[in-house]
Amino acid sequence: MAKAAIMGFGTVGSGVYDIIRMNSEKLKASAGEEIELKYILDIRDFDDHPEKHLFTKDVNDIINDSEVTVVAEVMGGLHPAYEFTKELLNAGKSVVTSNKELVATYGSELLAIAAEKNVNYMFEASVGGGIPIIRPLNRCLAANNIKRIAGILNGTTNYILYQMITNNKSFDTALADAQANGYAERNPAADIEGHDACRKIAILSSLASGKEIDYNSISTEGIVNVALEDVRYAAAMDSVIKLIGYAEFLDNGKVYAHVAPMIINNSSMLSGIDDVFNGILVTGDAVGDVMFYGAGAGKLPTASAVVADILDSVIHRERRSKIGWIKTDEDVCASADDKSFRYFVRTESSAEDAEKVFGGITKLDSLVENETAFVTEELSASVMAEKKAELGGVISAIRLFA
Ligand code: HSE
């Protein structure tokens, strides 16, 4: 029998509990042994809970219990999740997590400790909620050099954009709905300003390259400046606007990455990822394009991935499962100018001025009075910034996904 603990009894933690209770026979069959939940750590009181005897407020109960071999860290946030995880790994216990902030920030160190202690540190739920992406990227696509990862990685922003586009809901109402459904972060700025997607693309690109990609080096823009007019122009281009976590693995060995709203043509598989769903398009040099799609947030979908990691940790108790990356001194991140994009631009300036400054542009029929809209040729980030400043009056500039 394997003994497990849950740290954090919020949305995901209670989902982990529910799945362990709901699917106990299935889990036993998959693990080859029963998985007994011995502790639930939370600072709050759960006196009315039918299994209130499982609750503790002292992490040392778990750390010092040699029977516990696997712990689900679903507390979120950096502290004390980092300290607890470190202590648990050092105590020889496997830890599985949905905590993308922790994995993106301290993943290299925690993975190194897990390797040293011959235990598992698993994080399938940290990206894409219930969508299998970490293991497939690490295992099933292992024969490939990954060329590109482009993902709709944040359910809250995808939900907001979808509600704005299809139901004419205001930004605030759509955000409130996402919060009520348990999709949003405690501080929704992490969603709408793109930081959550940034952590996730940092994890995926670190995994694909085998080297830590520091999330601080990823240029990050959220959806707060996306206007309904932009959405209408996108529709006129047979496209939609989505918040994309983008990583390209360049021939010079560096990784170019950004998080930004992008215009996605309706011919792309990413264009149909609606509502709270996530979609991740991975391109490998052998396999070509592979799409991962499903529920990227929410209680049971995220808990589904956490419980799968618990199972895998039980199965790999003796021989740890190798998954992760290392921190190197190499400069792995490409500069913003190592990759060019075409841009959709809205400006108060005239089409003539736009043509003078940008050269070859594709003009769009104006949908808003006294505005010019056009699409540029491929430009690097710094050339785009220069031309934007030179033209003046630019209202929006959004990259096209190709
Ligand atoms: N706030 C996140 C989202 C939760 O909306 O996708 C899942 O990581």
Is residue 155 within 8 A of residue 298, CB to CB? The reply is yes
Cα separations (Å) of 288 from 125, 294, 401?
25, 20, 17
Task: Give catalytic residues, as residue numbers.
Answer: 200
Would you say the CB of residue 301 lies under 6 angstroms from ligand 1?
no
Instruction: Find all residues with CB under 8 Å of 295, minimum gap 6, and list them.
Output: 129, 130, 131, 155, 276, 277, 278, 301
184 lines ligand 1 (CB under 6 A): yes
**Which amino acid type is present at position 347?**
T
Burial of 249 (0-12, 13-18, 19+ CB in 10 A): buried
d(CA 281, CA 272): 12
Q: Quick one: 281 and 390 in the same domain? A: no
- Which residue among 99, 134, 154 is best mutated to probe the pocket of ligand 1, counting the most ligand atoms within 8 A of its Cβ? 154
Residue 326 counted as domain residue = no
The amino acid at residue 260 is A
Is 353 domain-assigned? yes
Residues 176 and 196 in one domain: yes
Instruction: State whether residue 320 is helix, strand or coil.
Output: coil
**Spans in the chain with pLDDT lower than 50:** none
Give yes or no: residues 180 and 270 share one domain: yes
Ligand 1 centre to CA of 92 (Å) is 30
| C-beta 296 within 6 A of ligand 1 | yes
Answer whether residue 159 is part of any domain.
yes
- pLDDT tens track for 21-53: 999 999 999 999 999 999 999 999 999 999 999
The end-to-end CA distance of the chain, in Å, is 51
Find residue 383's DSSP bridge partners: none
Q: Where is the domain boundary, 295, 329, 361? A: 295
Long-range Cβ contact pairs of 355-361 (< 8 A, separation 24 or more): 357/387, 357/390, 357/391, 358/387, 358/391
Task: Report the separation in Å between the CA atom of 242 and the middle of ligand 1, taken as the mean of its atom positions.
Answer: 15
Alpha carbon of 194 to ligand 1 centroid (Å): 11
Residue 332 lies in a domain: no
For residue 43, tell me if it sits in a domain: yes
In this structure, is residue 334 part of a structural domain?
no
CATH of the domain at 377: 3.30.70.120
Shared domain for 306 and 368, answered yes or no, is no
Peptide bond into 132 cis (omega under 30): no
Burial 155-180 (b: 16+ CB within 10 A, else e): bbbbbbbbbbbeeebebeebbebbee
Same domain, 358 and 382: yes
Domain, as residue range, for 366: 340-400
Residue 193 CB–ligand 1 contact under 6 Å: no
CATH number, domain with residue 163:
3.30.360.10
**184 and 214, same structural domain?**
yes
Query: Quick check: CB of 183 below 6 Å from ligand 1?
Result: yes
68 and 24 in a single domain? The answer is yes
- Does 252 share its domain with 352? no
254 is a domain residue: yes
65-88 confidence digits (pLDDT tens): 999 999 999 999 999 999 999 999
Q: Is residue 333 part of a domain?
A: no
Question: 261, 295, 329 — which closes off a domain?
Answer: 295
Q: Which two tokens stand for residue 378?
A: 């491929």
Do 277 and 232 belong together in one domain? Answer: yes
Distance 169 CA to ligand 1 centre (A): 20
Atom of ligand 1 nearest to the CA of 183: 5
**Cβ(129) – ligand 1 distance below 6 Å:** yes
Residue 42, Cβ neighbours under 10 Å: how many? 17
What's phi and psi for 58, nearest 5 deg?
-115, 110
Cα 131 to its chain centre, rounded Å, is 11
Residues 21 and 119 in one domain: yes
Q: How many domains does the chain have?
A: 3
Cα three-residue angle 334-340-341, rounded to 5 degrees: 130
Closest residue to atom 1 of ligand 1, CA basis: 184
Q: For residue 110, what is the domain's CATH number?
A: 3.40.50.720
| pTM strictly above 0.95 | yes
Residues 8 and 140 in one domain: no
User: Given this model, what pLDDT does residue 320 score?
Assistant: 86
Residue 25 sits in the same domain as residue 152: no
